[in-house]
Amino acid sequence: MISADKIPNNVNLSGNKRLQRALEHWQPKYIQWWRDMGPQGFQDYHQVYVRTAVSVDPEGWAHFEYVKLPEYRWGIFLADPVHDRRIGFGDFFGQPVWQEVPGEFRNQLRRLIVTQGDTEPASVEQQRWLGQRCPSLYDLRNLFQVNVEEGRHLWAMVYLLHSYFGRDGRDEAEELLDRQSGNRDKPRILEAFNEPIDNWLDFFMFTMFTDRDGKSQLMSLSESSLDPLSRTTRFMLTEEAHHMFVGETGIARILERTCQLMKEAGFSGDVRKLGGIDIPTIQKHLNQWFSLSLDLHGGEVSSNAASYFANGLKGRAKEETYDEHVVKDAHYRMEFFENGKSVAKEVLMRNAMNEVLRDWYVGDCAAGVARWNRILEQYGFSDRLQLPDRKFNRHIGMYSGFHFDPNGVPLSAEAFESRKSEWLPTNADSEYLLSIMAQPIYEPGKFANYIAPPRRGINQQPVNFQYVRTEA
């Protein structure tokens, strides 16, 4: 039975019987999905020290407790309303925001919400075996924190579907539990969410780069004229920050350990001989997840993106920092690839909105990579990680039919194929990673050999805290 207590919320759920009934109907299916497709082996006998949002204010936000995962209290939270909020961009600039979905934009909004919603359970599915190979209890807890919050993000999108899209919305909510990451017949909507994540290097790169795509999408949706969508995504952003923290610090800790092992090996030695993860392998995984996440931003020239912007459905990240918000006549200079050459051309800015968001994303990623490189520098190594050129390894958009090396130099398909193993993870790399992760580490305070401990624990607990415990 659903109660405000079971589903913490600030949407007055108990005062809306119709919605409450709809969610009551959906909830058991969600729990079944979580059991079948969520963290494998950690459903019934483990308690995890997780943060549960019980309200949107800072205290309610920092509520930590041990819970069994299927008993996590997935809540529904909208950020507080902004008084007299006005539409911030597009053709309706300056008008009051909408509290209901306008009929003419119903399909577009539904599509945006379903596409966002689909990524949330997808990532839980992708990550469901990682607990069996965790490098420490601290990391295991972080994985589960990310997983339960992605579950909550699904709830957030399902809340919008049930509240504003009637029957169609209810059907979409069911289908969100029906599609499955990597399933041949019913795959998840976006490609990056069908890729397996079976080792922790992939997991950290995913939370660094793909959750950061989540951040850029949520930032653009938080500008939306549909106020409930804006408020929902604004609160989701606060959780997303933790996911990227997990990714960025996870890689930073691997790098730190790699540096230590390289020193032990006498700089020129093979880190793999000491059970670490060598820098070329780290770079290849970076290349893989960065390029997949670039694809998630959609085609460079997009009439959909133009229409979303014109209609005020999806804006630019930090719209208020721009001088001009209608963007009718402005142009964007873009690099096309024609007859084997790059050609710069102007396109209408509205048609380039995916690329504008991608620019923001690339900048945010680059700042993170620069922070990683400081570790290599501190240890006195000259190696550096770098973001590949945005044309590299693309499967969506205007570069997708061509091949480029990580510096953006065009190559023939044959040349790309023959050098691909230098730039993208190979089966041998995956096998190696699985071999060093074969033994999970469940002892408090102990860490796998390939990763350094974090500087501090979670919620001011010590690093050797029992972040996950089995029931007595």
Q: Which is nearer to Fe ion, 8 or 247 (CB)?
A: 247
Q: Which is nearer to Fe ion, 125 or 240 (CB)?
A: 240
Which region among 240-248, 269-277, 296-304, 306-314 touches Fe ion (by CB under 5 A)?
240-248
C-alpha torsion angle, residues 32, 38, 41, 42 (rounded to 10): -90
C-alpha torsion angle, residues 196, 200, 206, 208 (rounded to 10): 180
Smallest gap, in angstroms, from Cβ of residue 154 to Fe ion? 8
Q: Which is nearer to Fe ion, 221 or 262 (CB)?
A: 221
Judged by CB under 5 A, how many residues of this single chain contact Fe ion?
7
Per-residue binding string, Fe ion, 105-134, x by CB under 5 A, is: ---------------x--------------
- Report if residue 212 touches Fe ion, rule: CB under 5 A: no
Does residue 114 contact residue 190 with C-beta atoms inside 8 Å? no
Smallest gap, in angstroms, from Cβ of residue 214 to Fe ion? 5
Which region among 16-24, 62-70, 243-251, 346-354 touches Fe ion (by CB under 5 A)?
243-251
Which region among 15-23, 179-187, 234-242, 391-399 touches Fe ion (by CB under 5 A)?
234-242
Which region among 28-36, 88-96, 142-150, 305-313 touches Fe ion (by CB under 5 A)?
142-150
Smallest gap, in angstroms, from Cβ of residue 243 to Fe ion? 4
- Report if residue 51 touches Fe ion, rule: CB under 5 A: no
Rounded CA separation 90/392 (Å): 32
Q: Which is nearer to Fe ion, 335 or 364 (CB)?
A: 364
- Report if residue 243 touches Fe ion, rule: CB under 5 A: yes
Which region among 21-29, 135-143, 148-156, 258-266 touches Fe ion (by CB under 5 A)?
148-156
Q: Which is nearer to Fe ion, 92 or 206 (CB)?
A: 206
- Report if residue 211 touches Fe ion, rule: CB under 5 A: yes
Smallest gap, in angstroms, from Cβ of residue 409 to Fe ion? 33
- Report if residue 153 touches Fe ion, rule: CB under 5 A: yes
Smallest gap, in angstroms, from Cβ of residue 156 to Fe ion? 9
Q: Which is nearer to Fe ion, 153 or 297 (CB)?
A: 153
- Report if residue 195 touches Fe ion, rule: CB under 5 A: no
- Report if residue 248 touches Fe ion, rule: CB under 5 A: no
Smallest gap, in angstroms, from Cβ of residue 242 to Fe ion? 8
Q: Which is nearer to Fe ion, 215 or 394 (CB)?
A: 215
What does the H/E/C string look like for the chain?
A: CCCCCCCCECCCHHHCHHHHHHHHHHHHHHHHHHHHHCCCCCCCCEEEEEEECCCCCHHHHCEEEEECHHHCCCCECCCCCCCCCECCCCCCCCCECECCCCHHHHHHHHHHHHHHHHHHHHHHHHCCCHHHHCCCHHHHHHHHHHHHHHHHHHHHHHHHHHHHCHHHHHHHHHHHHHCCCCCCCCCCCCHHHHCCCCCHHHHHHHHHHHHHHHHHHHHHHCCCCEHHHHHHHHHHHHHHHHHHHHHHHHHHHHHHHHHHHHHHCCCCCCHHHHCCCCHHHHHHHHHHHHHHHHHCCCCCCCHHHHHHHHCCCCCCCCHHHCCCCCCCCCEEEEEEEECCEEEEEEEEHHHHHHHHHHHHHHHHHHHHHHHHHHHHHHCCCCCCCCCCCCCCCCCCCCCCCCEECCCCCEECHHHHHHHHHHHCCCHHHHHHHHHHCCCCCCCCCCCCCCCCCCCCCHHHCCCCCCCEEECC
Q: Which is nearer to Fe ion, 211 or 300 (CB)?
A: 211
Which region among 71-79, 109-117, 225-233, 238-246 touches Fe ion (by CB under 5 A)?
238-246
- Report if residue 278 touches Fe ion, rule: CB under 5 A: no
Interface of this chain with Fe ion, residues 314 to 353, rule: CB under 5 A: none
- Report if residue 297 touches Fe ion, rule: CB under 5 A: no
Q: Which residues bind Fe ion (CB under 5 A)?
A: 120, 150, 153, 211, 214, 240, 243
